[in-house]
Structures are given as C-alpha cells and as structure tokens.
Structure 1
Amino acid sequence: MVHSRELLFLGTCFGRQEAHRRTQDVLYVALKGSLRLRTGRGRPTTVRTCLVPTGLWIDESILSTSQAVVAVYFLAPFSQDHPALASLMAEALPGIFCNHPHEDDVVSAMVEVRRQPDISVGTALSRVREPLFPDHVRNLEFREYDPRVVHVARRIRESLTANMTLAELAEEVHLSESRLEKLFKEQAGLPVTQYRMRYRVFISTIIMALGYSVTEAALLAGFSSSAHLSRCYRAINGITPSATFLQPPYVHAVLAPSAYRLVEPLLESQSVV
C-alpha cells in the first residue's frame, strides 16, 4: 500500500532477508512467528514489533525476519511518527525499540487490512494507525525540524529529474554546502545524495506498481539504467525490484491517489500515460 509519504507492506509468507542500510524509519511487525533481535548485552531475544531508525545497517546479527511473516511500515519522513512510537516502546539498542504496548491490536488490524484486497489506502492506514498511536501521543510534537532542511527535502522531491546540486540547494536556504550537508544528515538521518536516491527508489516503486517495467521505471525516476536502479533498490530494500514485482510471490499493490499524483507528471512528460 503506497501513499505519497508512507508505504505499508503486508507479507503473506516467510521472506528472504539480505543485509542493507535503512534509508527510512521503519516499523517491523511479525504477523506470524517472531522477529529475532539482538539486545544491548549481545543476547538475542524474540519480539513481535521493532522500530528501526534511518541510517542503520540491518543484517541477521542485529535483526532477523526470516522466521516471521512480516509487515513493514515505512514511516513518513520529517513526521512525528518515529519519536511518537519510540516514546511507547522499549529501547533494545541505541535507536532501536521493541515491544509496542498494543502489538496484539496492531497485528489484528494489519491482518484485517490484508484480508481486504479492495480496501482504500487511506482507510487501511487509518485502521493500522489507530492502535499504533494511542490518543495520548497523537498530535504531540516530539521533534522540531529545521524549516531549511524541510525546504531542501521538498526541492529534492520536486526536482527529481533536474538533479539540483548541493551548491544550488544550499544557496536557496542561505547555508554553506558543508553546513547544509551536516544539518540535513542530523535531521533526515541521511546525506542529501542518499535522500535523493531513496526518493527515486520510492518513485520507481510507484511506477512499477502501475505495471511499467524495471527499465521504464528506472529511466522515469532518474536512474541511468535498469541495472543502476536494481543496485540502488537492493541497497535500500535488501531485495531487487524484479524479485518484488516480477517473481512469485506476487505483490498486490494498492496506490493512493496521492501516490499516483507524484508520478503523473513524469509519465505525461514521456507520453507513456
């Protein structure tokens, strides 16, 4: 399920896992089975929910999802979602949290949504978010984001094919390149270049979900080739786009209108609508 700022994957079977670096705050939920997480003392423990921050390298020595049917909720960047969830969960390692207090209700909501293939993305996310974010944390501001960083992130999204340089972005917010790079990484968890790559992968995901090939998605999202997209996609998600969209088990993709609007100008510019 793809929204303009969020993505929710609801698994139906045990999946393979490859080491990769997270480029977005993610909540893992074991819909069946359990996740295996290393604790602060180095000992593994089993959990059903795990919150992982942007920038963290994930492999089986830290978090193993191989014994679980997993839901993966990619949280909206520059939102209060990650700090709100962190306030509810127990810290297992620096930046990694586990054991959501209402995880039974979270799992039930996700399974119910998975059983309704025709449900709208908005309705699905509302149902999932209700147990995830109890009343006492909704609408609270846990973290303040620098408006200059938010502006740069928006310009990156708006100028995907223009590929604005760091110097051009820094000039727009009246910062030096080094200061912008440092501030952006502090707040987004990623350097500017990696944030741009993450967003291009996200856009390519939407395009492929609409039925376009990996090659078409790569060129429309600003990659030099399908191989370039595949490398970046694998680095971010731990799987290749062909494994996601072209091979069993097939993904049933549901797009919100807001997600389609993100790619509509790209499709129109190439006359492939």
Structure 2
Amino acid sequence: MRFRLPGDERWISAKSILIPAGTRVSLENQGGVMSACYLDATKPDFQVLKRRMVSMAEGVYYNLADESRLTSGLTQLRDEAPGFAEAQLRIEALIHDCTHTSTVSTDPRIIYVIDRLRDTASMNISVSSLASEVGLSESSLIRLFSLHVGTPLRRHRLWFRLIEFVTLMLSGVPVASAIKRAGFTDASHLSRCYSRFFGVNLSYAFSKSVNARYIIDSRRAAQKKPPCQVS
C-alpha cells in the first residue's frame, strides 16, 4: 500500500505504517488486503512499535523491522479466527515478543481516567469531575491526557462509545436501543462518528454483503444481551 500526508503530493510506499493518534493520512491499498490495529492507550504498545520502525515522515512511522513476522502472524490470525481472548494474546505477542522490557509507561492517573471513560462511555461525566478524581485541574488533565494518548479526552470517550455500540449490536440489542445505550444522540450522529473513526460508512460495515468478522469479548457481550421475552 502507500500513504500520503496532508499538504504533500508525494505518495510513500510501505507494507506497515504506525500512525499516531489524531494524525490524518490518505491510504491507498491498491486492491491488497489491509489489517488495521488500534492500540490500547493504557499500554506502551505505540512506543514499543515506534522503536522498531525503520523510516519516518512527518511523525508517521513506516517499514517495521521483522515485517514478515507481523504479516505472517496477522494472516494466521485471520485464517484461524480464534476467540477474543486468544486473539488479544496473539496481538500482544506480535507487538512485544521481539522487544525487551519496555521503559515506557503511562501515567497512572491517565490509566485511571481511560478506565473510567471505558466503563462510563455512554455517560457525560464532566472533564472537571474526572480531573477532581485524580487530583488535577481540568486544564492539567486535558494537557496530560493529550501528552500520553495523543488525542483529546472527549474524542477518546467517543471511541469507547463506538466500541460499546458494536458490542451491543453483536450481542443482539436492537439498533435503536444500541444507539441510545451507547450514548449517541441519534442514528445520524452515530453514522458520522463511525465513518470518521473507521473510514467506512456504518451501513457498509454492517451490510450482509460485506465479508467482515467481528471478534468481541464474549463475557461483555453476554452482559449486554437483551433479556429473554416470556409470553
């Protein structure tokens, strides 16, 4: 595939690209198969991979060392389609197995806030309330969050809402109810957010004609299933 940065007419060819959160790039996969991995902001995955990238252009890293191992591992993951827990373990292994103990760590206050955002994604807990919980001012939390995560706090909450919506949908919750429970205003709001984050239209992503397989945490999915109706 190849990529291009905003304002740059040059296309750069690469088999692997590491894109910092909040960075906009144009991608052209030339009809090939592409795998997209969204890294956990509470873990040092990005910094670990960054050190293994060979090339860099305007803050975007590309050409991973030992690229063939990553390609082989992801292809095997696609073909074998294991469950959620096994898939998570394999991805972690692909990121960390060739790396010694990392010295990179995320501020524990940011890890706490991220966990809170994940658990309360559908709720509009104010930034000032979250800041108070970790002993920071609102402005300090905003700056620290952006420094560690690379995206604004509210945008990260929106990300968790999208994950919540997908989990609810795959758990059998009706669309209208899933939209409301995930914290979106309406279907249009959800559709706009989905296309911005994932790069495809929501209707296309969930179309029966699209050959896509979603793997979610079965335990979380079971908790979200609608109750059985007894007549």
TM-score category, normalised to shorter length: 0.7 to 0.9
Letter in 1 for 2:103: E
TM norm structure 1: 0.73
Structure 1 residue 66 displacement after superposition: 4.3
Query: CA separation in 1, counterparts of 2:117 and 2:148?
Result: 15
Instruction: Give the number of the structure whose residues are more often strand, by fraction.
Output: 1
Deviation string, structure 1 residues 45-92 (Cα, Å, up to 9, x no partner): 321111111010122xxx323432101111112211111111111232
Q: Say which structure, 1 or 2, has more relative contact order (CA 8 Å, 6+ apart).
A: 1
Quote how far apart the aligned CAs of 1:129 are: 4.4
- The answer for the alignment partner of 2:151 in structure 1 is 190
- The 1:259–1:94 alpha-carbon spacing in structure 2 relative to 1, beyond 3 Å, is farther
Matches within 5 A, 1:97-112: 97-112=61-76
Which of residues 190, 196, 200 is equivalent to 1:229? 190
CA distance in 1, matches of 2:90, 2:137: 43
Residue number in structure 1 paired with 2:59: 95
How many Å separate the matches in 1 of 2:176 and 2:211?
Answer: 19
Tell me: CA distance 1:147–1:124, structure 2 relative to 1, closer, same or farther (3 Å): closer
Counterpart amino acid of 2:2?
Answer: R
Extract unaligned runs of 5+ from structure 2: none
SS in 2 for 1:90: strand
More helix per residue: 2
In structure 1, how many angstroms separate the alpha carbons of the residues matched to 2:11 and 2:93?
30
1:36 corresponding residue in structure 2: 2
Q: Does 1:178 align with 2:142?
A: no
Q: CA offset at residue 247 of structure 1?
A: 4.2
**Percent identical across equivalent pairs?**
25
Q: Give runs of ≥4 in structure 1 deviating > 6 Å.
A: none
TM-score, reference length from structure 2:
0.85
Contact 2:122 2:161 in 1 (8 A): no
Q: Is the 8 A contact 1:201 1:233 kept in 2?
A: yes
Where does residue 85 of structure 1 map in the other structure? 49
Q: How much does 1:211 deviate? A: 4.0
What is the number of residues matched between the two proteins?
A: 227
One-letter amino acid of the counterpart of residue 91, structure 1: S
CA contact (8 A) 1:208 1:245 kept: no
Identify the residue that residue 8 of structure 1 maps to in structure 2: none
Give the match for residue 70 of structure 1: 34
